[in-house]
Amino acid sequence: MDLTIKSTKTLHNGVEMPRFGLGVYKMTDKEAAVEAMLAAIEAGYPAIDTAAIYQNEEEVGEAVRSSRVKREDLFITSKVWNTDQGYDNTLRAFEASLKRLGFDYLDLYLTHWAIPETYEETYRAIQRLYDEKLVRSIGVSNHQQHHLEKILAKANIKPMVNQIELHPQLTQEPLRQFCADNDIAITSWSPLARGRLLDEPVLAKIGEAHGKTIAQVVIRWHLQSDLIVIPKSVTPSRIKENADVYGFMLSEEEMKMIDGLNQDWRTGTHPDQITV
């Protein structure tokens, strides 16, 4: 059986984005954050997903510089926070992020949430960063179809990625279809539903059949579903466990069983309810 999964997703501008990376939300203890990020890089994680609001961009920069992996061999994403949106503010926020990271470019920069009054201007600024070659690829996060339609109607450069909450209890089928039809790759945030799926009986049974943990089954489900996945852990053993997902394959039936767990259940805010 072919167990291989392409390790990157080709974005519509030709950039190869790793399908797997480390999410670093809530890694705020400086020492533990750098240690976890470094452990992930040394364990072969090719990507890190941060954001200005996570307050750990400096730690990301430090971990990358103290690792044995070259900056250009890693894919680093950050995001402009809600209170920094708008054209000029976004350009300033990007510069501040880059400074905190200590890098001269980012691999991907996203609008964190579609704040109704400002998300279109924010994306216009992000396009400028792309034109100026300060970012290798651009996109959005927490954008619904109606937000994307507005952006697509005016964009010179279509978003390459939409990062949304997605896991077996929130499978987001219609938005996934819309993004696929428009060449927008999807990154799943809270891919493990923040740990709340980890005693789910269907997943436990599938895990037992493969000798894998529930977290590994869920990460494999994201990968086999053509999604980009960024599980977060500060725990070294879990960082290794979450990356050990390439030696087994979920059957079509198992994939369908996992798809069937959908309840349209969110761990986070609904994108249409965000204010700031």
Ligand X SMILES: O=C1CO[C@H](CO)[C@@H](O)[C@@H]1O
Ligand Y SMILES: NC(=O)C1=CN([C@@H]2O[C@H](COP(=O)(O)OP(=O)(O)OC[C@H]3O[C@@H](n4cnc5c(N)ncnc54)[C@H](OP(=O)(O)O)[C@@H]3O)[C@@H](O)[C@H]2O)C=CC1
| Contact by Cβ (8 Å): 162, 190 | no
Q: Which of 39, 192, 227, 228 binds ligand Y (CB under 6 A)?
A: 192
Q: Which amino acid is at 211?
A: G
Q: Mask 213-242, x = binds ligand Y (CB under 6 A)?
A: x-x--------------xxxxxx--x--xx
268 lies in the site for ligand X, by CB under 6 A: yes
**Which helix (H) or strand (E) segment is 140 a member of?**
strand 138-141
Q: By CB under 6 A, tell whether 144 contacts ligand X.
A: no
* Rg from Cα positions in the chain: 18
Nearer to ligand X, 190 or 213 (CB): 190
CB of 194 to ligand X, least distance (A): 9
Cβ nearer to ligand Y, comparing 80 with 129: 80
Q: What are the angstrom distances between the C-alpha of 164 and each of 99, 190, 254?
A: 26, 9, 23
Collect all residues with Cβ–Cβ distance below 8 Å to 100 and sequence separation of at least 6: 52, 57, 58, 61
CB 57, min distance to ligand X, A: 13
Binding of residue 141 to ligand Y (CB under 6 A): yes
Q: Quote the Cα angle for 272-49-51, to 5°.
A: 60
- Nearest approach, Cβ of residue 53 and ligand Y (Å): 9
* Nearest distance in Å: CB 122, ligand X: 14
* Range 109-138, binding ligand X (CB under 6 A): 112
Dist. CA 50–CA 78, nearest whole Å: 5
* E strand or H helix at 91: helix 87-101
In sequence order, what are the beta bridge partners of 22?
A: 48
Q: Within positions 153 to 192, which residues make up the interface with ligand X, using CB under 6 A?
A: none
Distance (Å, whole) CA 102 – CA 96: 10
Catalytic residue flag (residue 54): yes
Site string for ligand X, 45-84 (x = CB under 6 A): ------x---------------------------------
Closest to 17 measured CA to CA, from 137, 110, 152, 157: 137
Q: Does 236 help bind ligand X (rule: CB under 6 A)? A: no
Catalytic annotation, residues: 54
Interface residues toward ligand X, by CB under 6 A: 25, 51, 112, 268
